[in-house]
Structure 1
Amino acid sequence: MYPTSSITDAQWVILAPLLPPPGNTTGRGGRPEKHPRRLILDAIFYLVRGGIAWAVLPREFPPQQTVYGLFGSWARHGVWQQIHDALRDLVGLHQGRDPLPTAAIIDSQSVRAADTVARTTRGYDAGKKVNGHKRHIAVDTNGLLLAVVVTVAGIQDRDAAHRLLTQLRARFSTISLVWADGGYAGRLIIWACKVLALTVEVVKRTDDVKGFAVLPRRWVVERTFAWISKHRRCVRDYETLPTHHEVMVHISMIMTMSRHLARTGDW
């Protein structure tokens, strides 16, 4: 129905096996699901791509309570991240890459909060002049998402990186090297080395270059932010819960990766 968000047949072949079984088919009882999973996913993808509110989903989709109910249930149980991680491994395998990365790139992006976000849960990034949240991500050398942490925008990158790198280490024991920009220099490098056995290498901008310049390694994570920002629900922060913001980032990457696999036939 909607070219930029609707799931194609090729996408559905990829996504369907990654979805958890309905409750009534796992011996736990419960009524059969009333609406097709594909149609509910279409509604969620439409919302993430278009940046609309849950209450104004078009009538051709299931009721917004049903759509949001599945979104929230899967968010609580980590299903979205499981789907994302399975797709990321699939993309890596079909690109001839080892699914276990040995290096990563980290960076952050401040996002202005909408009026739906409580003032008590947001912060002010004085450098970017943004009042809202900041998402901190780690990607592999191909730009695929490895970890994401959402904080108030006022937190310093090097402070939030403690949580990000801890999450990265917990999920990937194979990573030994992390590239970052100058905002992560200082005590973080020593802490990461001693506590997490991670070498954080700062990629600095040369003083003789003026204006925009493509920096080694750092351009990869900037491209990932561009992929995420193609989805309007991620351009501005509408989520009342930081965990839901993280889920929106995962869904945007699910859409990106599944479309890539379906388009190239690498599945």
Structure 2
Amino acid sequence: MSEPAEPVDAAARRAVRPVVCYPPETLPPVDLPGFRAALDGAERIDVVMVPPREARCFMAPAGHFFRITSVGGPQVGDLNLWHARELGERFFSGKTRALHGTHVTSGCRLWSVLPYLRPMATVVEDSLEWYGRDEFGCGVHDVIGTRCDPYTNRLLSGGDYHHCCHSNLIRAFAATTGMPISEAEGYVHDVLNVFMCTGFDRQTGQYIMKASPVRPGDALTCFAEIDLLGALSACPGGDCSAQHSSDTAECWPLMVEILKPAALPEGWEQPPVNAYPRGHGA
């Protein structure tokens, strides 16, 4: 078949101005000053070290903070979140992307799946907020990528690799919940790529990555809006400058701290599940 001919009004069609699909202006405002005041002087009550090419789970009760920090060297991580008592409520990267854009930073919320659709956590501080967007259109902390996984790795390379973030998250989740691996895999979901520097190629539209600007001491701090079970994988790609399913990339640990504030932000309440009547989604 021949390639379709370009219509005479092609330029006019391309020139139509876009609109934002989900304008966020009507979302409840984020009280960043209140959250940051609560964070000042918060007490560290737990710390979880995530080894390179592995994942670990952590618990962040509602009204607490969790902080992910780079230690040792530049390292990216893949984050999953679940409601600690209702594991079916988990992080919805696609809706978070639709509401806040392809990359999150201070003031963005991390939303849960339908039919719950409520904030699970709010980003309060981001030491890499200065990065913004670079000349390639890349930014930090993306909700674009799906996590490196052994299935795609086999599809593209023909090899088997067992320390992909998907695999790491399954093992950590299974170890924490007591589920068998086969059951736990269904709970692992698309991630927040913490510290990863990514974007879309302007010519091909392909998902691209580059060396993360993260350095030891950089951190992403979030406020847990509900009781959270989290899992964080220290990606086998290290800073993801060239590859992400590899035993040759230099990798470093990540640290997760759980912080309890002395006082909660004034007026804060746990967000209720979405008000749309459940069971009517069809």
Q: Which has the higher contact order (CA 8 A, sep 6+)?
A: 2
Q: TM-score, normalised by structure 1?
A: 0.24
| Greater helix content | 1
Structure number having the greater strand percentage: 2
